[in-house]
Structure 1
Amino acid sequence: MAEPVQDQQALIRIEGLYKLFGSNPQKHMPLVHQGKSKDEILAATGHTLGLKDINMTINKGEIFVIMGLSGSGKSTLIRHFNRLIDPTEGVIEIEGTDVMKLGDKELQNFRRHKMSMVFQRFGLLPHNTVVDNVAYGLSIQGVSKSESKAKAKEWLETVGLAGYEEQYPAQLSGGQQQRVGLARALCTDAEILLMDEAFSALDPLIRSEMQDQLIELQEKLHKTIIFITHDLDEALRIGDRIAILKDGEMVQQGEPEDILLNPATDYVEAFVRDVNRARALTVETVMKDPAYRITADTIEEALKQMRGFKEDYGYYVNDDGYQGVVTEEALQEAYAEDNAAEMTVECCEELDAISPDAVLETVIPDTLNSEYSLPVVDDDGQYTGRLSRSTLAEVLGNESPDAELVDEAERKAG
């Protein structure tokens, strides 16, 4: 899964977007607004409802995934962003500019400089070399041949294809061809990247590698990426936020963990049912609040804090961050020896912390083997949450495929 977006500045705003395909869509839009179904409209008018009342905001620097099955409207929607398709109704604003008001020349410049597109079937020019394919967008912009080639070579190196400059597309594997397509899209330095099923034609292993590379590149480049897919696993892995379409309507929009843990409809629930949550969720998405915090300077004060807890243990935290787990029994023994003693690390048991970024699958054994909830500690050593067996059971569920992982870990622990 991609890193959370830090910059929440809205870049793209879609409001009340409708697309009705046919010879006279405006005439039949009242039927759409009356709530007639896609099938009813088609039967009555011969027009096809492509999109219905789409509303979304896409933030600067995020990977926004639009997903759905074939016919859901996802590819139709992405083609509205650069006006390859014009809406029947609705607003499309990019950085405050109403795209629908752009004239032909303005629209041409907008497409050349603001957005780049990566296609499912690569879209490479077969008779051009790899470097010329990557430089193509710059040549269209009027950049000199020497400058565009130099920049194209830089991007080929970035995507791992240095040395392939003079090859032709037919000489490359599918994964390599898609890397060329990605380099070409990045080469124009466009702020927005449109990726329409960009990895779906690739073999699973190559597809996974391309997903990894996209996430790695995004951490450096901070582009705004709109990614179309029919694969929920792919969406969960790379998306900062996900919008799910069905029959041209948006049925749910949110962060990956929200969709996975709180599906809004039966349709979404069917999508998420077979997802391996243990591999899709991180500790941070399911951990409980950082309760049972012991911050006292003395044993006496620590005991007072402990007696306010539901559990008979706590997590000792000082100015240097998390130090270990301490039990009520240990505090009582220390207090009996010296009722004026200071609270120190010596009172604690070692309990390895887990990272908020850890994938759940990797911490299942440690969670089940521990008699305490595991403390979640960030890179700065700060105690930020806790993960217990009961939380794992609740999140993974007894009937999910992930329960097998829990059962196996419990057998090993027992």
Structure 2
Amino acid sequence: MNVTRSATKAAAALDERPVMLASRNVWKVYGRGAEEVMAAKGGTPSAADLNEAGLIGAVRDASVEVKEGEIFIIMGLSGSGKSTLLRCMSRLIEPTAGEVMFDGRNLLQVSEKELIEIRRHRMGMVFQHFALLPHLTVLENVAFPLSVQGKPRTEQRKRAQEMVELVGLKGRENYYPRELSGGQQQRVGIARSLAVEPQIWFLDEPFSALDPLIRREMQQELMRLQNVLHKTIVFITHDFDEAIRLADRIAIMKDGEIIQIGTPEDLVTRPATDYVAEFTRDVQRAKVLSARTLMSPLTGDAHATRPTGEAGTLRKVAATAKIASFAAEIVAEARPFAVTDPDGAVIGQVTPAAVINLLAGREGSL
């Protein structure tokens, strides 16, 4: 089987998008004398240097770029530094060193007043704990950040109503948080964060406190909203299944460091370290790998007629289609499927045997 590289035109299009947010060599070191130790070690102390000085390197030399309109997921186990990095990138906490660039400006150099304005008008945040105001209704909770901005009351209510309907809570505008389920409360939190029309959306384990079925529902809701709104999203999770379901790209962290950044498919097919390989070991690969990754060169059969005798080519699947989306059909038809690029040109084929081997865990070099 000829396994191709997973880069696609879609990935290339992502690469061409402007960078909305970037952390550059960001450090967050806790403990007395952190700045002095950083300076003494040339700005790049080792883990041993920090331990010797009694310091905690929560984030160490982290550099990421988040492209406009992508869902960028930062993940790792508890204590890996993922939430600390998000807070550095939103400047909820002050990094010890490095730069945080937002839309071309270094957030670490803006004034407190400017930062407040950026947060009020250009950033949205949703956290694991819903933090709804219990004495306000759904509509009032959603309108709250607009009232902080000083928007006219009629504009507040109009925008809040639009957001309530967007997240599927129409009819519950006058409910109080205690009258809602956990999933409904989180929808209110999402609506509230979107009310200010943020350029960038920070989501810190927003679904981890929810029951599994509700969590899956909220993941689907997030993807629906993203298809409508096309937000730039930084999403924190410790769940790799959640990450591969949602992410355009993923950064995996360990002990404050970023170990690897890539698409879900990149991480599964080309893990940079044993740690990344262990993270991806139990992933259902058919849900991650695309037709492009599993395809082989065209054969004469790729343009054969169907068994019924009707003229036509083989059934076609997009290069970016996940194997799981057509596995049952290709096995049932027992014929190759032609793989097409974004322009509709046939660039290869996927065979039933290759799909069966993948499902059975016999995919060889993948």
Please give the range of the TM-score, normalised by the shorter of the 2 chains. 0.7 to 0.9
Superposed CA deviations along residues 109-164 of structure 1, whole A, max 9, x for unmatched, are 01111111001011111111111110111111111122111110110001000111
Q: Where do 4+ consecutive residues of structure 1 move more than 6 Å?
A: none
CA distance, structure 2, for counterparts of residue 358 and residue 391 of structure 1? 15
Q: CA deviation at 1:385?
A: 3.0
Q: CA deviation at 1:172?
A: 0.4
Task: Say which SS state the counterpart of residue 135 (structure 2) adopts.
Answer: coil
Q: 1:387–1:23: structure 2 CA closer, same or farther, 3 Å change rule?
A: same
Q: CA deviation at 1:33?
A: 5.2
Task: Say which SS state the counterpart of residue 70 (structure 1) adopts.
Answer: coil
CA distance, structure 2, for counterparts of residue 260 and residue 62 of structure 1? 20
Is 1:314–1:326's contact at 8 Å kept on the other side of the alignment?
no
CA distance, structure 2, for counterparts of residue 151 and residue 19 of structure 1? 37
1 or 2 for the larger relative contact order (CA 8 Å, sep ≥6)? 2
* 2:47 aligned partner: 37
* 1:66 aligned partner: 74
* 2:4 aligned partner: none
Question: 1:392 aligned to 343, 355, 361, which one?
Answer: 355
Is 1:120–1:201's contact at 8 Å kept on the other side of the alignment?
yes
RMSD in angstroms over aligned alpha carbons?
2.7
Q: Within 5 Å, which residues of 2 pair with 1:92-103?
A: 92-103=100-111
* 1:28 aligned partner: 37
Is 2:334–2:352's contact at 8 Å kept on the other side of the alignment?
no
* 1:254 aligned partner: 262
CA distance, structure 1, for counterparts of residue 29 and residue 45 of structure 2? 13
Is 2:311 the partner of 1:363?
Answer: no
Is 1:17–1:51's contact at 8 Å kept on the other side of the alignment?
yes
Unpaired runs of 5+ residues, structure 2, are 1-9
Is 2:317 the partner of 1:354?
Answer: yes
Question: 1:210 aligned to 207, 210, 218, which one?
Answer: 218
* 1:13 aligned partner: 22
Q: CA deviation at 1:41?
A: 2.2
* 2:168 aligned partner: 160
Q: Within 5 Å, which residues of 2 pair with 1:71-150?
A: 71-150=79-158
Q: CA deviation at 1:96?
A: 0.7
Task: Say which SS state the counterpart of residue 32 (structure 2) adopts.
Answer: coil
CA distance, structure 2, for counterparts of residue 129 and residue 285 of structure 1? 49
Task: Say which SS state the counterpart of residue 146 (structure 1) adopts.
Answer: helix
Q: CA deviation at 1:380?
A: 7.0
Superposed CA deviations along residues 156-200 of structure 1, whole A, max 9, x for unmatched, are 001000111111111100000000000001000111000000011
Could you tell me the percent identity over the aligned residues?
42
- With normalisation by structure 2, the TM-score equals 0.88
CA distance, structure 2, for counterparts of residue 176 and residue 55 of structure 1? 35
CA distance, structure 2, for counterparts of residue 36 and residue 382 of structure 1? 50
- With normalisation by structure 1, the TM-score equals 0.78
